Amino acid sequence: IVGEGGSQKVVAQLPSGESVEVYLFGATVTSWKSNGGQTENLWVSEAADLTGNKPIRGGVPVVFPNFGPPPATGPCSKLSQHGFARNSRWEYLGKSSTEDALDTSSVKLDFGLDRNGISEEHRKAWPLDFGLVYSVTLSKDTLQTVITVRNEGEESFEFQFLLHTYFRIKDISKVSVNGLGSVEYIDKVLDATTHSQTDPTLKFTGEVDRVYKDIKLDTTSILEDGKPRFDITRDNVKDTVTWNPWIEKAKSMGDFAPNDGYKNMVCVEVGAVNGWQKLEKGEVFEGGMLVKSHL
Ligand code: BG6
């Protein structure tokens, strides 16, 4: 662990140079370098607050227990947009590694958050007994992030979960996202209603904010200049949000910098956000993603 107070983070590196950096605040992955440590795969705003006072703008914020604005009723109704996980200080549970051969070497970092780890205000708003374990595994050209949600209380509860990943790209005008054809999505920019994706390829020419639901394929890919850049494989989750704020929205966000940073990022966010996941007493949910970097 390096750093002080709200800026504490865990940094890990493989013998071959690849590395990962995770802030305890939000268990937010803020750096993932592949290709012997030469290629940064995540975008973090130059104006991101890295002191533990507000969610980090960039990297991989963990969204839990609600996605988007809080619903009108139910225990999440008093929470803020995207829930409390990205606003809470997680506990570092430790590291495990395998170094059998160079190309299979990996390091796994575990983080935990439970009822006692969230603020008094969040405990009052969401009075449920839960345990989260979030595992971040770095291998030579992949990053795997998986959460387990356990219901530790007497009553059932419902939640949503999303990994709000900001991928670093060179030029948004040359980016396409594949693997979303014939899928229904909610268009939050247009009219918040359901549409059907006819084109198998999504390109960005303006603000995009779409919730793709119940995707049959396991993998969604980001291509740059027609070449594969990232393969994002869903693990036990079926939904994916695509987001780019474009010019005006990027300018309006106080912690988004530089203004034209939207050209260098694309959010492809896997999770379970179509409806709610229900957990009975003692039950556990597990879900996440495996990302392969082609650089
Ligand atoms: C996306 C949402 O997941 O997150 C967008 O679909 C939202 O509607 C974006 O604008 C960023 O949210 P926030 O709370 O980090 O500004």
- Residue-level pLDDT at 99: 60
pLDDT at 100 over 90: no
Question: Given a cut of 60, is residue 287 above it in pLDDT?
Answer: yes
List helix spans (H) across the chain: 120-125, 246-252
Tens-digit pLDDT profile for residues 52-62: 999 999 999 99
pLDDT score at 182 = 87
Tell me: cis bond preceding 65? Omega within 30 of 0 counts. yes
| Ligand 1, atom nearest to 67 Cα | 3
pLDDT per position as a tens digit, 213-227: 999 999 999 999 999
At residue 102, the pLDDT reads 54
Residues of the chain with pLDDT > 90: what percent?
Answer: 95
pLDDT class for 278, splitting at 50, 70, 90?
very high
With a cut of 90, say whether residue 98 has pLDDT above it: no
CA of 155 to the centre of ligand 1 (A): 30
- Would you say residue 105 has pLDDT above 70? yes
Task: Assess contact for 255 and 49: CB atoms under 8 A.
Answer: yes
Residue 143 has a CB neighbour count (10 Å cut-off) of: 25
**φ, ψ (nearest 5 deg) of residue 36:** 65, 20
Choose the residue to mutate in 241, 244, 266 for probing ligand 1, maximizing ligand atoms within 8 Å of C-beta.
241
Residue 113 CA, distance from chain mean position: 16
Distance, CA 236 to ligand 1 centroid (Å)?
22
Between CA 265 and CA 236 the distance in angstroms is: 25
**CA–CA distance, 50 with 207 (Å, rounded to integer):** 26
Mean pLDDT of 62-80: 97
Instruction: List pLDDT tens digits, range 131-183.
Output: 999 999 999 999 999 999 999 999 999 999 999 999 999 999 999 999 998 89
Residues touching ligand 1 (Cβ under 6 Å) are: 68, 81-82, 164, 188, 209, 241, 243, 269
Reported confidence tier of residue 97, pLDDT bands at 50, 70, 90: confident
Question: pLDDT band for position 129 (50/70/90)?
Answer: very high
pLDDT of residue 104: 57
HEC secondary structure over 102-141: HHHCEEEEEEEEEHHHCCHHHHHHCCCCEEEEEEEEEECC
- Please say if 195 is a catalytic residue: no
Q: What is the pLDDT of residue 181?
A: 84
- Give the pairing of strands 19-23 and 9-13: antiparallel
Backbone phi, psi, residue 181, to 5°: -65, 150
For residue 248, pLDDT over 60 is answered with: yes
- Give the residue-averaged pLDDT of 180-202: 93
Residue 164 bears catalytic tag: yes
Mean pLDDT of the chain: 96
3-state DSSP: the chain helix, strand, coil percent, rounded to 5?
15, 50, 40
ipTM: 0.98
Distance 284 CA to ligand 1 centre (A): 27
- How much is the pLDDT for 101? 54
